[in-house]
A and B are shown apart, each in its own frame.
Chain A
């Protein structure tokens, strides 16, 4: 059972360290007397807005496109961020690497492969979810690796 506890502590710490702002809510104030648990999740992180225009020839930046098209799961405390944080911590990397935008080991080709072919819990993205032009820019933005 030691493994379980270590795992839970690692996850709590991991989630606390993903760069999430910890918010003071009534939730916490009311929990007086309750055992100290992991910090509450952060507020919803707003995504960049989609610009009007032809998505097949986008003029948006890779950063904004990543925020909007991938942000449901890959911003603070998104499902993807949570799962990748666990994987990265298990590999001995800092929890902040759960956020794809912080990674320096991704290549543009790898990003495109995972988006189109899926990986683990990550579903394959259709060309309506993200167009080829959009994915090119997102991959260039995330692909800081060699």
Chain B
């Protein structure tokens, strides 16, 4: 096959754009070349990547709009803490802003692309050591380049009695996901809470250890989650205040057994009583896991493409949804509860759960037991098996499929869940887009993720999705709800919604930013936090 012909075919489809060099603000081409040369001296020429094709590879494959809006100038991939420190010193010297990614698989939120165009991606994918893996106390110490599948396979190879909590995309980094407040579906599903004790390179190149790690050779660093004095760990999550080079992560001891209780819930509005039933069970400890409640579309996206079920443009009408649910024997929602632990305890918990649900619905729950040693399959996300298959949902719309997640956090009660759902459902429907919601009850709150799928080859669809996203943000904020995480193109927009006392929280964080990173070279603009050095970039390159 002729490679040239291939290239042209790809170009016509908008793939392989061969992105030209975008320089960061106020850095000359000569200054950039000098910085690249200095970086090559630290990590070796092969690990500084600045060709047009490299810039393409670090672009956001799901970009809502042109990828060049968030184009990197290149990428540098150190393999040790000392190399990271040297890279940071060079970045300071040459005023080269860095955009840190763990493995750069933050799909739907910008992938590896920087918030500020021209930043150089600091790719920590080569920092992939599993430093400790302790089944006795259930924790690991890992570097940012360790992916969910890497850690899972190590646990399996060593036959350790540990069970991971994994998100929808198992391709990504364990630490990167936790630091970005990612969620999973086991009792350890609020991933940021599992981080215990970090090592961090600051913007000046200094190296610190949080928690008890501030003491040289402390034995309890990765067990006790507080500092002596103020604790700083969360300051480095969703953050540009430092580069996390390794961290402790708690892992759940593998349970003796687990019981899955499945129930289809017929109507959209039923989510109200479902949440009011589940939240007390979660708060009282009958259910430990983060409970994922996807809507019907979560199942349909695995079965085929949208055009197989509805071949007209615009959202699938309610009458067709009702038909599809009937044809495929699906409820509007799928409640999939899992209890973990001793078999007798699980049985007792199941009785409580079933009795509670029986007050609302006569359908019996399907019960699926798993016992230690039983096989698991690739789709057993709630048993800690990582997979990228959930990303297959993108194929729903076909073409160069992509997704964005609109993800407000709501109190886990029917009042708030129904309120948010009714408003977002109407807005999504008004924009003629399919409604694909899920709620994950992680405690007193639920993460409401609304998947918005679109074909990037269809400019009309991209524009419509952007308009819709802006409408959803404005509406949620006006009603007192915020997103827990967002795409780089909306980071400033969401930061603006945190408006208490004239954005006093942001003002404080930016003071800290300037103090710790005077040249503002670490991930400027991340989550709407801009250093003084690049404050003029705020509000630019928005989606």
Q: Are B394 and A121 in contact (CB under 8 A)?
A: yes
The interface size of chain B toward A, counting residues with CB under 8 Å, comes to 64
Q: Are B378 and A116 in contact (CB under 8 A)?
A: no
A123 at the interface (CB under 8 A from B): yes
Q: Are B389 and A78 in contact (CB under 8 A)?
A: yes
Interface hits, A3-53 → B, CB 8 Å: 3-4, 7-8, 11, 23, 25-27, 30-31, 34-35, 40-47, 49
In whole Å, how far is A28's beta carbon from the nearest beta carbon of chain B?
9
The interface size of chain A toward B, counting residues with CB under 8 Å, comes to 54
- Which of B193-201, B278-286, B364-372 lines the interface with chain A? B364-372
Once bound together, how far apart are the Cα atoms of A128 and B494, in whole Å? Answer: 31
Once bound together, how far apart are the Cα atoms of A2 and B123, in whole Å? Answer: 48
Chain A residues with Cβ under 8 A from B400's Cβ? 120
Q: Are A123 and B111 in contact (CB under 8 A)?
A: yes
Chain B residues with Cβ under 8 A from A82's Cβ? 389, 392
Q: Are A145 and B1 in contact (CB under 8 A)?
A: yes
- B368 touches which of A26, A42, A113 (Cβ 8 Å): A26
Chain B residues with Cβ under 8 A from A117's Cβ? 7, 10, 15-16, 53, 56
B517 at the interface (CB under 8 A from A): no
Interface hits, B22-76 → A, CB 8 Å: 44, 46-47, 49, 53-54, 56-59, 61, 75
B132 at the interface (CB under 8 A from A): no
Which residue of chain B lies nearest to A40 when distances are taken between CB atoms in the complex? Answer: B377
Q: Are B1 and A44 in contact (CB under 8 A)?
A: no
What 0/1 readout, one digit per residue, does chain B (114-142) give for beta carbons within 8 Å of chain A? 00000000010110000000000000000
Q: Are B387 and A30 in contact (CB under 8 A)?
A: no
Q: Are A123 and B61 in contact (CB under 8 A)?
A: yes
B80 at the interface (CB under 8 A from A): no
Once bound together, how far apart are the Cα atoms of A126 and B1, in whole Å? Answer: 23
In whole Å, how far is B126's beta carbon from the nearest beta carbon of chain A?
6
In whole Å, how far is A115's beta carbon from the nearest beta carbon of chain B?
10
In whole Å, how far is B296's beta carbon from the nearest beta carbon of chain A?
15
A125 at the interface (CB under 8 A from B): yes
A93 at the interface (CB under 8 A from B): no
What 0/1 readout, one digit per residue, does chain B (169-182) give for beta carbons within 8 Å of chain A? 01100000000000
- B385 touches which of A44, A55, A112, A127 (Cβ 8 Å): A44
B356 at the interface (CB under 8 A from A): no
Q: Are B149 and A72 in contact (CB under 8 A)?
A: yes
Chain B residues with Cβ under 8 A from A49's Cβ? 153
Chain A residues with Cβ under 8 A from B401's Cβ? 120-121
If the complex has contacts A8-B304, A121-B394, are A43 and B378 also in contact, measured as CB distance less than 8 A? yes
- A126 touches which of B123, B171, B303, B368 (Cβ 8 Å): B123
Which residue of chain B lies nearest to A28 when distances are taken between CB atoms in the complex? Answer: B368
- B57 touches which of A42, A73, A119, A125 (Cβ 8 Å): A125
A107 at the interface (CB under 8 A from B): yes
Q: Are A43 and B304 in contact (CB under 8 A)?
A: no
Q: Are A25 and B75 in contact (CB under 8 A)?
A: no
Chain A residues with Cβ under 8 A from B252's Cβ? none
Q: Are B49 and A113 in contact (CB under 8 A)?
A: no
Q: Are B391 and A118 in contact (CB under 8 A)?
A: no
If the complex has contacts A8-B303, A126-B58, are A46 and B170 also in contact, measured as CB distance less than 8 A? no
Q: Which of A4, A126, A127 gathers most chain B CB within 10 Å? A: A126
Q: Are B379 and A79 in contact (CB under 8 A)?
A: no
A-B residue pairs in contact (CB < 8 Å), sample of 6: A11-B304, A30-B368, A42-B378, A78-B389, A123-B111, A128-B47
Which residues of B approach A to under 8 Å, CB–CB? 1, 3, 6-7, 10, 15-16, 44, 46-47, 49, 53-54, 56-59, 61, 75, 77, 104, 111-112, 123, 125-126, 147, 149, 152-153, 156-157, 170-171, 303-304, 308-309, 327, 329, 366-371, 374-379, 385-389, 391-392, 394-395, 399-401
Q: Can you name 6 extra interface pairs (CB under 8 A) apart from A43-B378, A46-B157?
A: A26-B370, A30-B369, A56-B47, A76-B378, A119-B10, A128-B104
